[in-house]
Amino acid sequence: MLSSNPNAIELLKANPKKIDWYNLSENPNPEAIKLIKKRLKYLRNLSDDKYYDLSDEEHLDWESLSQNPAAIEFLEEKIKEEEEKPELDNRYDEISWALLSSNPAIFEAK
């Protein structure tokens, strides 16, 4: 559960092999979102076999990300990217629209 602790981000950055990516997805620290962006790029470059060989802790949790107020800009970027590049392979990164609708950050004015 260390990965979900917003105060543990420096420790996690210093020990990336110890990150539980599933739990990091709920971490509200903006630095956690930066790590998640890098992780998504890594995951997208894996073959199907390698992707499916990963443990649960090595995957992102899109339900948690969809509810995470700190992830709202990341989710907006992803939605825009999908609109601009429909050919993009999104097999592994599915936004939960139902949970996104409960994210309080969607109602903040810019």
Q: How many CB atoms are closer than 10 A to CB 21?
A: 22
- pLDDT tens-place values along the chain, 110 residues long: 899 999 999 999 999 999 999 999 999 999 999 999 999 989 888 888 998 899 999 999 999 999 999 999 999 988 888 788 776 666 656 888 899 999 999 887 55
Helix (H, G, I), strand (E, B) or coil at 6: helix
Q: How many CA atoms lie within 13 A of 100 on its CB side?
A: 16
In order, the DSSP letters of 33-55 are HHHHHHHHHHHHTS-HHHHHHS-
Say what the pLDDT of residue 86 is.
72
